[in-house]
Structure 1
Amino acid sequence: MKYVYILESEDSEHFYVGITDDVPARLAKHNAGEVAHTSKYRPWRLKTYVAFSDEKQAFAFEKYLKSGSGRAFAKKRL
């Protein structure tokens, strides 16, 4: 399974979209500062995640969520 996840910083001003095989382990890495892009906005909490059995669909959904319309969709619906 692949999981597309959305993290929200504790200040609720920053969001991060990613993809992983293990959501709890990935969240721990973000909060430990091991991910350069997210380290300055710690701590993070998991806002939502979606499971995919098809890896190709997971990567396509992650790419969509990182687009302008995908960010608007996530903000309104997820």
Structure 2
Amino acid sequence: MYYVYILFSESSDVYYKGFSEDVEKRLEYHLHSKGKFTSGVGDWEIVYVKEFANKKEALIEEKRLKRLNRKSIEKLIYG
């Protein structure tokens, strides 16, 4: 299975969208990484996860999510 996820950092007030086969492991990477976007932010939390049967569908959804504005992301997460 593949997953598309959205993380939120309260301290930075920012959302991060991505995909992975293991969301919890990926969260740990973001929390402790020196990655370009997620480094220095230690309070990422998972706020949205959607499961896909294959990688192609997950990547299409990730791309769609990355194009959404903040209002649309929050509507998706919080209804």
Q: Distance in 2 between matches of 1:16 and 1:36?
A: 12
State the secondary structure of the residue aligned to 1:4: strand
Aligned ranges 1:1-78 → 2 under 5 Å: 1-11=1-11, 13-68=13-68, 71-78=70-77
* Structure 1 moving runs of 4+ over 3 Å: none
- Kindly provide the amino acid, as one letter, of the partner of residue 73 in structure 1: S
State the secondary structure of the residue aligned to 1:40: coil
What RMSD over aligned residues (CA atoms) do the two structures have, in Å?
Answer: 1.7
What are structure 2's unaligned runs of at least 5 residues? none
Query: Which one is further off, 4-13 or 47-56?
Result: 4-13
TM-score in terms of structure 1 length: 0.84
The aligned length equals 77
- Kindly provide the amino acid, as one letter, of the partner of residue 68 in structure 2: G
Contact kept in structure 2, 1:8 and 1:44, CA below 8 Å: yes
What are structure 1's unaligned runs of at least 5 residues? none
